[in-house]
Chain A
Amino acid sequence: MSKIMTVDILSSIKGAKPSESVNQLFDVIRNAHPTNNNAANNVNINAVSVSDLREDVVVESGEIEREIIKENFPNEKDGYLVVSKVIED
């Protein structure tokens, strides 16, 4: 089911509207004529090859790391992260 979503909803920013300055940049691209319209990404190849993937191992985080992650919780109760009320719609 398709649903039209405005940029303020997509961005989770209240009252957000497209900017005129940014639209002027996009117009340049809209009017451009690339010789190949399908990006093949055959020039900037940055992905690692499948034969060179890092080992799939679990790395335990240290005690200091865990403590800081908890310290960064915006709302905490008894060592747990408190989240806002979830409304399904």
Chain B
Amino acid sequence: MNSQIKEIHQQLVSKQITCTALVQEKLDLLKQNTHNTVNSLLEDSALEAAAKVDAKIANGEEIGLLEGIPFGIKDVYMVQGTYTTASSDLLKKYKSAYTATAIQKLLDAGAIPLVKENCDSFGHGSSSENTIFGAVKNAVDETLVSGGSSGGSAVNVAKDYTVFSIGGDTGGSIRQPAGYNNIYGLKPTYGRISRYGIMAYASSTDCVGPLAKSIEDIRIVLNVMSGKDGKDQTTYASDEILENAITSVDGVKTVGYFKNFIESEAIDPTVKADFLAAIEKIKAKGIEVKELDFFKSDTLVSTYYTLAMAETASNLSRLDGTNYGNRIEDKNLKETYAVTRSENFSEETKRRVVGGNQVLSQGFSDAIYLKGLALRDQISENFEKDFEEVDIILSPVTPAAPPVIGDSLKDPLAMYLSDEYTVGFSLGQLPTLTVPQGTVTGLQITAAKRNEEQVLKFANFLKDTL
């Protein structure tokens, strides 16, 4: 199976290339790039790690599959000793004191982190324009947004600046930028990968996941990062997904899609036509396709944002400049908190924190927040019923092509509504993969909870079918 990781591993083992030369080449590409993907480079540690890999190979020692493979990390993950800014003014000089579990597992496997990647501040955005490091430019067309919030990660992979990158997905933040930059991006089942060490946005839907150029690389990285972790008690133990388990489409008999997604007023006619053409090709392969009923898009988006804002208001309340962060002193403690937060949070972050405190306050919580929780339960129940009827749900990633840089910031409501196809799967905590096929921004493949194997299997089938 096509795999950039395996290809580079082979080149290292056969001494066609050195790890130092490989890492240096990628660092140079990152330094010269004009897409604003880099918040900070980890140059010294990367070259030091590469030299160790070269020494092992020179000594005739075996190296693991991920050993010496350069990768990128969205700048919301703790990596001890590195700046972890969340692309914000508040944390622009904050250094991680410890390392996130998912990243530590990759380090233990020998992968080499090169870069902390640009993203929307605290994950608040769908375009990677809400950042102090400059809007991330799309890998294909620099006038367009990269998508978000893991925009820097998606562009780095698409441009081959990193072999794979680790993003974070709360409402679509891996899948949508993957679609906008024509690569693969996986949001695993909630709890498959530990959240310990990711800067919390909305803890009930935050997921760690890989972005890469091949299905096989997604599988390899997913296997390494998965597993139960005492530091995140929502994690569960999962089995390794074997390569030969995802090569045949056996087991996928029925595919469903949401009728109202395709009949939505917001969908671009080309995206609709391309999606329906993909459905016809799947049918032609003998797979049964069913139309499914689902919640209206505005209900999905509103439920997601109600809960996400409530959770982010709570999670970000710790950011007051007392123990860390860019404190701005004022006449007393309360004023210091308020000035620090007012001056250091972006407009979008403030909008979400205020929205969250609104729905959690007396008088609003019953009418909005608790109702949002009830709706989420109904959405999840709906998915459970769907997966009794179908093996896979297929959807577009976005209703239209990426917007031009500058447009999303002018109209926050339009930006929220553009997440209409991704947020439902976050609320359902389901494994969902973006594949760069089918429509201009790709397709999403979703399976029942904990069934990443089925998702990857169907992705391989689509690769040969579309």
Residues of B close to A53: CB separation below 8 A: 233
B396 proximal to A (CB < 8 A): no
Q: Is the CB of A68 within 8 A of B95?
A: yes
Q: Is the CB of A34 within 8 A of B378?
A: yes
A12-B320, A32-B299 known; A22 vs B351 contact (CB < 8 Å)? yes
The number of chain B residues with a CB under 8 A from chain A is: 75
Q: Which of A1-58 contact B (CB under 8 A)?
A: 2, 5, 7-8, 10-19, 21-22, 24-26, 28-30, 32, 34-44, 46-48, 53-55
Q: Which of A47-75 contact B (CB under 8 A)?
A: 47-48, 53-55, 61, 64-66, 68-69, 71-75
Rounded to whole angstroms, the CA-CA distance of A36 and B190 in the bound complex is: 24
Which of B95, B339, B375 has the largest number of chain A CB atoms within 10 A?
B375
Q: Is the CB of B354 within 8 A of A74?
A: no
A39-B374, A47-B234, A75-B327 known; A85 vs B333 contact (CB < 8 Å)? yes
Rounded to whole angstroms, the CA-CA distance of A26 and B352 in the bound complex is: 12
CB distance from B345 to the nearest CB of A (A): 7
Of A13, A36, A66, which is within 8 A of B378 by CB? A36
Rounded to whole angstroms, the CA-CA distance of A5 and B60 in the bound complex is: 68
Q: Is the CB of B333 within 8 A of A29?
A: no
B338 proximal to A (CB < 8 A): yes
Residues of A close to B364: CB separation below 8 A: 26
B59 proximal to A (CB < 8 A): no
Q: Is the CB of B309 within 8 A of A22?
A: yes
Q: Is the CB of A43 within 8 A of B97?
A: no
Residues of B close to A2: CB separation below 8 A: 362
Q: Is the CB of B378 within 8 A of A44?
A: no
Rounded to whole angstroms, the CA-CA distance of A32 and B375 in the bound complex is: 9
Q: Chain B interface secondary structure, helix, strand, loop or mixed?
A: helix
Q: Is the CB of B81 within 8 A of A68?
A: yes
Identify which of B152-160, B263-271, B300-308 touches chain A. Answer: B300-308
CB distance from B317 to the nearest CB of A (A): 8
Q: Which of B341-396 contact A (CB under 8 A)?
A: 341-342, 345, 350-355, 357-359, 361-362, 364, 367-368, 370-378, 380-381, 384
B191 proximal to A (CB < 8 A): yes
Q: Is the CB of B322 within 8 A of A17?
A: no
Rounded to whole angstroms, the CA-CA distance of A18 and B377 in the bound complex is: 27
B397 proximal to A (CB < 8 A): no
Q: Is the CB of A68 within 8 A of B97?
A: yes
Rounded to whole angstroms, the CA-CA distance of A19 and B230 in the bound complex is: 39
Q: Is the CB of A68 within 8 A of B355?
A: no
Q: Which residues of A contact B (CB under 8 A)?
A: 2, 5, 7-8, 10-19, 21-22, 24-26, 28-30, 32, 34-44, 46-48, 53-55, 61, 64-66, 68-69, 71-75, 81, 83-87
**Given A18-B358, A68-B80, A68-B95, 4 new contacts (CB under 8 A):** A28-B301, A37-B370, A75-B329, A84-B322
24 pairs across A/B with beta carbons < 8 Å? A5-B361, A7-B357, A7-B358, A11-B353, A13-B354, A21-B413, A22-B351, A22-B354, A26-B358, A29-B303, A29-B306, A32-B371, A34-B371, A34-B374, A38-B370, A41-B373, A44-B429, A46-B234, A47-B234, A61-B98, A68-B95, A69-B324, A72-B323, A74-B327
